[in-house]
Amino acid sequence: MFSISENLRQVRSRLALACAAAHRGVDDVTLLAVSKTCPAEAVRAAHAAGQRAFGENYVQEALDKIAALADMRAGLEWHLIGPLQSNKTRVVAESFDWVHAVDRLKIAERLSSQRPQHLPALNICLQVNVSGEASKSGVAPAELPALAHAVAGLPRLRLRGLMSIPEPVEGLGAQRAPHRELHRWFDKLVQSGLALDTLSMGMSADLEAAVLEGANLVRVGTAIFGARARTGG
Ligand SMILES: *Cc1c(COP(=O)(O)O)cnc(C)c1O
């Protein structure tokens, strides 16, 4: 029977097995529950089952949900994981804790200048277009170092790391390849002096591959909340 708490229990046990296989501690990986298209009540149920971090793709839908759950705002961490247009940066800077899909300096500059002073710096991951990705979004690897250093210098942002959305493929070996590549770019940036701590990769279908390649934040929707009526992002 469909139950968010039972699904969460299963995802946590998948994560624990993957961490054991990777010789990593289970606390090393943060589970981000992707609640896009789900009602606020689903977030409430997941929170009651111990989940704290939630990911959303669509800005207006997310703002409605954040407002509906304002009574528990302090116990929730909201991550925008979908694409962000420049006309929406102000509401995002005012309402979210993290933004994962930044791939342009202009968006980062707007988020920094619009982040309210009473809030802590906004956590940022840069989306990288790793090899084999069909999507047009994400910064090209060749342009990543310059973008990362520029974003790291913005006063109201805290650059935390990198994220990617590889093409879905079957099989652990094929799933691992793009995650390994993102980890290599992450290491290069750390070697160049950036204090990054977040590798946001892996979803319902490939979280094991991502954990084996060093992911420390996995974004899981379907495996927690069930299949979505509306897809994409
Ligand atoms: C929807 C989405 C996810 C979750 O995908 P599932 O396959 O449902 O786990 C993760 N990351 C991003 C960027 C998404 O848009």
Provide the number of structural domains found in the chain: 1
Is residue 120 one of the residues assigned to a domain?
Answer: yes
Is residue 59 within 6 Å of ligand 1 at its C-beta? no
CATH number of residue 27's parent domain: 3.20.20.10
What DSSP state is assigned to residue 232?
-
Please state at what angle helix 105-114 crosses helix 144-152, rounded to 10 degrees. Answer: 10
Is residue 230 one of the residues assigned to a domain?
Answer: no
Closest CA to 214 of 194, 189, 184: 184
81 to 13, 103, 138: CA distances (angstroms): 24, 12, 12
Across the range 198-202, mean pLDDT stands at: 98
Residue 226 has pLDDT above 70, yes or no: yes
Q: What is the distance between the alpha carbons of residues 46 and 52, in angstroms, rounded to a whole number?
A: 8
Is residue 81 within 6 Å of ligand 1 at its C-beta? yes
Find out whether 112 and 157 touch, Cβ atoms under 8 Å. Answer: yes
Is residue 232 one of the residues assigned to a domain?
Answer: no
Percent of the chain with pLDDT over 90: 93
**118 Cα–ligand 1 center, Å:** 31
Is residue 233 one of the residues assigned to a domain?
Answer: no
Query: How high does pLDDT run on average in the chain?
Result: 95
Is residue 231 one of the residues assigned to a domain?
Answer: no
Q: Quote the tokens at residue 120.
A: 């802590």
Domain residues for the domain of 19 are 4-225
Q: Quote the tokens at residue 214.
A: 């060093």
**220 Cα–ligand 1 center, Å:** 6
The model carries a pTM of: 0.96
Q: What is the distance between the alpha carbons of residues 83 and 58, in angstroms, rounded to a whole number?
A: 8
| Closest atom of ligand 1 relative to the 222 alpha carbon | 8
Find out whether 96 and 82 touch, Cβ atoms under 8 Å. Answer: no
Is residue 204 within 6 Å of ligand 1 at its C-beta? yes
Q: Please report which confidence band the pLDDT of residue 202 belongs to, taking 50, 70 and 90 as the band edges.
A: very high
**What are 53-105's pLDDT values in tens digits?**
999 999 999 999 999 999 999 999 999 999 999 999 999 999 999 999 999 99
Is residue 138 within 6 Å of ligand 1 at its C-beta? no
Is residue 83 within 6 Å of ligand 1 at its C-beta? no
Q: What is the pLDDT of residue 60?
A: 98
Q: What is the distance between the alpha carbons of residues 192 and 135, in angstroms, rounded to a whole number?
A: 28
**219 Cα–ligand 1 center, Å:** 6
Q: What is the distance between the alpha carbons of residues 96 and 119, in angstroms, rounded to a whole number?
A: 10
Q: What is the distance between the alpha carbons of residues 83 and 139, in angstroms, rounded to a whole number?
A: 12
Strand, coil or helix: 185? helix
Is residue 66 one of the residues assigned to a domain?
Answer: yes
Residue 40 has pLDDT above 50, yes or no: yes
Give the DSSP H or E segment for 177: helix 172-191
Is residue 219 within 6 Å of ligand 1 at its C-beta? yes
**What are 95-145's pLDDT values in tens digits?**
999 999 999 999 999 999 999 999 999 999 999 999 756 677 899 999 999
Q: What is the pLDDT of residue 38?
A: 97
Residue 47 has pLDDT above 90, yes or no: yes
